[in-house]
Amino acid sequence: MPNTMTACPLCGAGAPFRVYNPAPIACHDYETMPEGSRLDQCASCRFIFLNPQPTPEESLAYEAVDEQWYPTEDMTEEDRYIHTVEARRAIEFVMRVQPVKGCLLDIGSNRGFLLNAAREAGYNAYGVEPTARTAEFSRREFGVNVFNGVLEDNPYELGSFDTITLWHVLEHIPSVRPFVRKTAAMLKPDGVLFIQVPYLDYWPRPVHFNYFDCDSLMRVLAGVGLTVIAAEVEARNFLTIAATQRGRASDTGPAGLGAWDAMALQAGRQQKQLEQLEQKLAAQAAAQQAQYEELTRAVHNIYASIARRPWSRLMRVVRRVIPRS
C-alpha cells in the first residue's frame, strides 16, 4: 500500500497540507504520478512532496521508466557527448570549491560519466549505484569502481572521503534528512558534500518524491549540521549546493549562518515572492479573460437581436440611439 504522509518529511509539521497547484510544472511529473497521488505543500515550511508516496516495490517499478528517458544501451554519440560535457562541468564546480582532490564518492553514480570525469581530473573515484543495469554499464564503459547496492550497505568506511557528490538523487529519496545524515557521516572532517537537484519549476523525470528550492534544501542541510559554502542555480533549471561539516570563518554571516546560508535563504524568500506574484498575475489575467468573454457574448447577443428585427423596427431603434441633430 502507498505510504500516506501525515507529517511533512522536511519539518515534521502535521496535516492538513495544501494541494500544490500543478500549473507551474514545466514537464511531465503531474501527468505520470502514481494513481491517487498528488503534490502536497506543507503549510508550515512550504516544502512540496508527493503524497501518498509509493512503496519501495512500487518505486522500483516506476524507476523502470528511467530507461525510456535515459537509455543505457545503444546510447548515441550525441548522448555520450552531452553526458560527458555535463559531468566535466560538474567536476569543474567541485574543484572550484574543494581544493583537495583525494577520494571522491559519487552516490547514485548512474552510468558513470561523473565518476569517469572525476578520475580524469585526478580523483580516486568510487561509486554507489542501486540499479544493476547502470552499475554494470559504468564498469564496462569506463572501468570505474562501483558498488552495486544502496548507501546503507556500501563497503566504504565512515569518514573516509574528501568529496561526496549527490547528483539528482535527493528528489528520489523518501526520507531525505536521514539519508543526508548518513551521507555526511562518510565525509572526512574537512570533506565537502555536493548536491544537485532539479530546481522547483524544472522537473525532467516522471516521478519525484521531493521538490526543492533554495530554502527547502537549506533546511535539510542545516538540520544535519552542515554549512553551505557555495551555491549555483543554472538558469532556474538545476540547483547545486556545496556544504561542509565545519563552517569556514570567512563565510560566517549574521545570526550564526554562513554567508551562503543567508544568501540561499534570501533566494528562497524571493522565490516565494515571485510565486505569489505569478499567482496574482494569473488570477488577474483569468478575471480579465472572463470579463472579455462576457462582453463578447453581450455584443454577440445584441447583433443577433438586431438581425432578427424587421427593418422598420431596426430604424426606430437607430433613431432612438442616434437622435437627429
**Using one digit for the tens of pLDDT, what is the confidence trace for 60-75?**
555 555 555 555 666 7
Instruction: Assess contact for 88 and 117: CB atoms under 8 A.
Output: yes
**pTM attached to this predicted model:** 0.71
Rounded distance between C-alpha atoms, residue 217 and residue 195, angstroms? 9
So what's the pLDDT on residue 230?
87
Tell whether the model's pLDDT for residue 6 goes beyond 70: yes
Q: Domain for residue 200, yes or no?
A: yes
- CATH number of the domain to which 161 belongs: 3.40.50.150
Q: Mean per-residue pLDDT for 212-232?
A: 87
264-291 confidence digits (pLDDT tens):
556 655 655 666 677 788 888 888 888 8
Query: Helices (H), strands (E): how many in the chain?
Result: 9, 11
Q: Domain for residue 191, yes or no?
A: yes
Q: Higher pLDDT residue, 186 or 245?
A: 186
Rounded distance between C-alpha atoms, residue 41 and residue 283, angstroms? 20
Q: Higher pLDDT residue, 166 or 307?
A: 166
Q: Domain for residue 45, yes or no?
A: no
So what's the pLDDT on residue 255?
35
So what's the pLDDT on residue 302?
78
Q: Domain for residue 230, yes or no?
A: yes
Q: What confidence category does residue 301 fall into, taking pLDDT thresholds of 50, 70 and 90?
A: confident
Q: What is the DSSP letter of 177?
A: H
| Total of domains in the chain | 1
Q: Domain for residue 184, yes or no?
A: yes
Determine the structural domain holding residue 181 and report its residue range: 76-275
So what's the pLDDT on residue 140?
92
Q: Mean per-residue pLDDT for 206-233?
A: 84
Q: What confidence category does residue 59 fall into, taking pLDDT thresholds of 50, 70 and 90?
A: low
